[in-house]
Amino acid sequence: MNRLAGCAGEWQGISTLFLPDATPEGSDSILAVAPVLNGRFIRLDYTWSQGGAPQHGSLLIGSHEACWIDTWHMSDRMMICAIEHGDGAAWSCRGSYAVPPGPDWHWRIAITPELPDKVRIVMTNILPGEETGMLAVDAVYSRVS
């Protein structure tokens, strides 16, 4: 959490969306990182666009779990994610979502702070029975001075 807390502030960059059988689509993206409740949680709010339509997302990170919401991927649902890695240079969490009529798919969010001036967020779609998954989002940010 300390390393993520060191990311507090405003960031700008490019968020690239990867869809199967489509050309990756990059868009301008803004990221705001803030500690909440006296540093017990870290909140990341971000913007991006797909096909010119503005999109928004938020990730609330705690010591044991995170909650992810997003206008494009999640619509009106919340994904509760278990923390996978919280120490060292990278942080990640993993949640799941329904893909009827089959088994749930998984979603991994990994944040790599390259402090003081870079942050990378990678989101991966993981099919049932797999571990590595398919790249879905790759966002690279620079700190706004």
- pLDDT tens digits, 96-133: 999 999 999 999 999 999 888 999 999 999 999 888 89
pLDDT over threshold 90, residue 3: no
pLDDT band of 34, cuts 50, 70, 90: very high
Please say whether the beta carbons of 62 and 41 come within 8 A.
yes
CATH 3.40.50.970 fits 2-143, yes or no: no
Model pLDDT, residue 58 = 98
* Six-digit token string for 42: 């870290």
From residue 136, give the alpha-carbon distance in Å to each of 8, 49, 110, 143.
25, 14, 12, 23
The average pLDDT across 26-42 equals 96
Residue 21's region, left for phi above 0, alpha for psi from -120 to 50, else beta, is: left
Q: How far apart are CA 142 and CA 124, in angstroms?
A: 21
Average pLDDT, the chain: 93
24-28, 88-92, 106-110, 140-144: least confidently modelled range: 88-92
* Six-digit token string for 30: 């803004």
Model pLDDT, residue 144 = 96
Q: How far apart are CA 143 and CA 59, in angstroms?
A: 18
From residue 99, give the alpha-carbon distance in Å to each of 7, 19, 71, 125.
34, 16, 18, 12
